Structure 1
Amino acid sequence: MAIHFHDERNKNSYTTRIADKQWITLIKQLLNGQWIQQAADIGCGGGIYSKALCTLGIPKVVGVDFSEPMLAAARDNCRDYPQIKFLHGNATALNIAPNKMDLVLERALIHHLSELKTSFTEVNRVLKKGGVFIIQDRTMEDVFKEGNEEHIRGWFFARFPHLKEIENARRFVSGEVRTALEETGFKIVEERKLLETRRVYKSKEALGEDLRKRTGRSILYELSDSQLQVLVDYISSRLPMQKEIREKDYWTVWKAVKIC
């Protein structure tokens, strides 16, 4: 079963973290001092990265998501950020005026899309000429890194190999992303790898509790509750008894600029 993004019970799944310092540093490097007046966070979920864009000094941020319950959670999560506005829309209909944005971010979104060109064409529409488009997602290379005490996600596939087939069906290779960008009016500027700290847990019990809630991990909705408990026990058996756990994820990040 895939995650039901419109279910009220899942609305806080993407509100419980803050953006990692490595992410902030990378985005600063990619922007390279370019002045950004307005930015859009597409597939914003609970607003974690809408907040992060504000910490970069961007004065106006628009978060767009297709789930009304998640937008409600995002508004609550970002209630202390008056510079953020949230809109109901989706990747192919952003509900934003043309040539409006200096920056568009699509983080952990494209693996939910069946194809890329329609979404990228819509991003092109709302960006100003010379505007920056940043995409962050996992390639298969990122997903299937071996599991260890930091890369917890790798153990998902070690214990339940059928999840690999699901991931393989929804992940784009870098060449597909680059081709879609070039065919929709973008120039690819840079492609980077990022090892991002996802969250720090005081103990493996705290990690297990988070896993059981499937917090921000759409792949875990493909497991039944009983399978999920098996996974939690499997991961727990591989972690030290008493030790802080710093969970990290591998990502690929593409920067492109609108040229036409």
Structure 2
Amino acid sequence: MAIDFHAESNADTYAKRSAAAEWHSAMVGLLNPKGAQVADIGCGGGVYTRAWRELGAGHVEGVDFSEVMVATAGKKAADLTGVHFRKGSAEETGLEAAHFDVVFERALIHHLAALVPAFREAFRILRPGGLLIVQHRTMDDVLQPATTEHLRGYFFKALPRLLDKEMSRRPDGATVQAALAAAGFEETASQTLWETRKIYPDRQALADDLRNRTGRSILHELDDAELEQLISEVMLHAPGSGEIRERDRWTVFTARKPVEA
């Protein structure tokens, strides 16, 4: 069963982490965020909306299609100024045209029926010269070898059918680049990023995170028995003691709205 982003039971599933140092460094390597107007589309619980503000963005608008997610994000960022959340879709954000320096879309596009409408909306709300950043896992990223840090790789060893689900929903790099060009963007590029997902104090904390399906839409494809099978496989390979660092590889696409647009 696919994840229900509108269910109260999933309200904080995408709000419990903090953006990692590797992510901060990668974003600063792409642009100077100081004072920037940023739109975080598909913001979920607002983890990266808050992170952009912490990087020095002047104002950040988080947009998500789930009222539940928007409400949770607002609560998590209640102590931050310069951050606002609203309900809207990737294709119809409701945001002002030609207003933003940066549009950020992380872990979003594999949930979309089509890429070009969402990229056209990003184009619309960006200022001329503005930057679209799309952080996405391609199948090349998904298929990175399983290790004691890349624990997600063991999901597919435990339940190979999950790979079929991933292949059905993850556009490849060429498809993303073509959709960016079709939406009017120029100067498209991509780079890979190994990002720490979470650091767990011990094995039990990792098992609990998996059992709760926290922030992992792929695990909502499993029934409880299959989930326990997956957890058993991961536990076979996870470090036996001490902290456990989980990392994922991503592809970060960038594209620029022409200055004359």
Q: TM-score, normalised to structure 1's length?
A: 0.97
Structure 2 residue aligned with 1:29: 29
Does the C-alpha gap of structure 1 residues 34 and 201 become closer, same or farther in structure 2, counting only changes over 3 Å?
closer
Distance 2:240 2:197 in 1: 21
Q: What's the CA shift string for 1:73-115, capped at 9, x where partnerless? A: 1001111112101111001100101111111000000000121
Alignment of 1:42-191 (within 5 A): 42-191=41-190
Question: Is structure 2 residue 59 aligned with structure 1 residue 40?
Answer: no
Distance 2:216 2:132 in 1: 24
Does the C-alpha gap of structure 1 residues 57 and 84 become closer, same or farther in structure 2, counting only changes over 3 Å?
same
Distance 2:51 2:210 in 1: 24
Q: What secondary structure, in the 3-state scheme, does the structure 2 residue paired with 1:125 have?
A: helix
Q: What's the CA shift string for 1:136-171, capped at 9, x where partnerless? A: 010000001121110010000111000000000000
Letter in 2 for 1:106: E
1:241 Cα offset (Å): 2.3
Structure 2 residue aligned with 1:210: 209
Structure 2 residue aligned with 1:14: 14
Distance 2:34 2:73 in 1: 26
The runs of at least 4 aligned residues of structure 1 exceeding 4 Å deviation read: none
Q: What's the CA shift string for 1:178-218, capped at 9, x where partnerless? A: 11111111113431100000100111111000000101100
1:244 Cα offset (Å): 1.4
1:36 Cα offset (Å): 4.7
Q: What secondary structure, in the 3-state scheme, does the structure 2 residue paired with 1:167 have?
A: helix
Distance 2:35 2:130 in 1: 9
Q: What is the number of residues matched between the two proteins? A: 259
Higher mean alpha-carbon deviation, 22-31 vs 226-235, is at 226-235
Letter in 2 for 1:175: A
Does the C-alpha gap of structure 1 residues 204 and 34 become closer, same or farther in structure 2, counting only changes over 3 Å?
closer
Letter in 2 for 1:121: R
Query: Does the 8 Å CA contact 1:71/1:88 hold for their aligned counterparts?
Result: yes
Q: TM-score, normalised to structure 2's length?
A: 0.97
Q: What secondary structure, in the 3-state scheme, does the structure 1 residue paired with 2:131 have?
A: strand
